[in-house]
Structure 1
């Protein structure tokens, strides 16, 4: 049966690949992006998230899945505003629509970078839901030449939010599964600059080894996102699944075991 699915970041990269895949199998996809999608919205701001949630509510009586692909890798406060709050706040606002589905699913795009050193103050503020404190901590990190910690911070916080939320009241007890799909290096416009710079590519290959099949295409990640959004994928929640060609297992062979 066709499902009604919201995909953020739908106009490029993983979000575009996923939107096409879902549409091919007959789902009704409502894409959200800054421009060029079904619904234009700036998820970096509270006003943009509120407007997006309200417009989605006008267009859909219920939601079967919300998949958050919107994100930025440009160092700065936007990493926190978009990557974390642009996902979690929107998902929370859409929870009532998800609860109306017979098989509701939430899938957030994380990253293997979430396993790397993060800024504790940023992560803590994110998990408290204090966006202003999180942005202030991000500015401090930038001033202290630790801007490289902001992307891992946003993705670590996403994973922790999903773990906590998945079993919180109003989620698992309402049948809403919440999971994270965490890619490693994906061939998208967001990573094009890294591949164009031989020095950066060498650094990336060392930092994120991918022995199984190498770099992933956007479609490779999209298929896993679609799996977790499917009605027949049951009894899986609160999980972070790495689509990384073996990078996480290489870098953390004994993690959590």
Structure 2
């Protein structure tokens, strides 16, 4: 029986590339996004997250093998925190019960190497404690200023990476035989980064901020291949890892620092 996977953010970018890759390999994929997918759901709201779980349960027949929480935003608005953190966590926790009958249950989420950049301590704290009302209020404050709006994305990804580190080895995940991990891409050529990579001048400026000495900016399929392995039957022991697929950004920026 082919494996059944659920991918959020499947209409474009990394999510779409992952969906296409898995389908080429013979897997059944249930895609979710705001449009053009089997399941349409808005992960910025509690209602949308609940509808995602309900729809996937119905479409899958109540059994899946892998969760790919890929959906995300990169705008200086409060919705970015809602989707990137609360939407991702709700996807993983809400769909986890559907993994119970799988012979090889797996889960992975897309974070970002942007977690290494400046973040807002207050927003990160509210995200990691699950205070959505407080987090949204703080994000609204940050969004009002051009100099702080960008902190929303970085903070949401840092909080998401911390959530994975704290949850992966617990009874709910590792105890249930489910490897839970994250990937942290560098600059990937997707619709989200199109304006930032539209010209050679723009790409050069971006790579000064995000150094990628190994082969530079990557295509979405590069991340898709890593995601597919992390959620494959071959991955039996990788647990709670934030895998930087960033052309060397992490190594350049953090040097000797390790988790």
Number of the residue aligned with 1:25: 25
Aligned match for 1:180, one of 160, 171, 182: 182
Q: Which runs of 5+ in 2 are unaligned?
A: none
Please give the secondary structure, in 2, of the residue aligned with 1:94. helix
Q: What is the distance in 1 between the residues matched to 2:33 and 2:143?
A: 26
1:1-257 paired onto structure 2 within 5 Å: 1-60=1-60, 61-144=62-145, 145-196=147-198, 200-256=202-258
Cα offset, 1:86, TM superposition: 1.0
Over the aligned positions, Cα root-mean-square deviation in angstroms equals 1.4
Cα offset, 1:256, TM superposition: 2.6
Q: What is the distance in 1 between the residues matched to 2:124 and 2:58?
A: 33
Larger mean Cα displacement after TM superposition, 183-192 or 124-133: 124-133
For the 8 Å contact 2:6–2:68, the answer to whether it is kept is yes
Aligned residues: 257
Where in structure 1 do 4 or more consecutive aligned residues deviate above 4 Å? 197-200
Larger mean Cα displacement after TM superposition, 45-54 or 199-208: 199-208
Cα offset, 1:198, TM superposition: 5.9
TM-score, normalization by structure 2: 0.95
Q: What is the distance in 1 between the residues matched to 2:37 and 2:74?
A: 20
Q: 1:220-245 CA distances to partner (integer Å, 9 max, x unpaired)?
A: 01000000010121111100001111
Cα offset, 1:37, TM superposition: 0.7
Cα offset, 1:72, TM superposition: 1.1
Cα offset, 1:14, TM superposition: 0.7
Q: 1:56-95 CA distances to partner (integer Å, 9 max, x unpaired)?
A: 1112221211001111111111110111111111211111
Q: What is the distance in 2 between the residues matched to 1:126 and 1:200?
A: 32
TM-score, normalization by structure 1: 0.96
For the 8 Å contact 2:69–2:91, the answer to whether it is kept is no
Q: Which runs of 5+ in 1 are unaligned?
A: none
Q: What is the distance in 1 between the residues matched to 2:101 and 2:10?
A: 23
Q: What is the distance in 2 between the residues matched to 1:86 and 1:198?
A: 34
For the 8 Å contact 1:99–1:176, the answer to whether it is kept is no
Q: 1:187-243 CA distances to partner (integer Å, 9 max, x unpaired)?
A: 011100111266643431111111111110000010000000101211111000011
Please give the secondary structure, in 2, of the residue aligned with 1:67. strand
For the 8 Å contact 2:187–2:246, the answer to whether it is kept is yes
1:199/1:77 Cα in 2 relative to 1: closer, same or farther (>3 Å)? Answer: farther
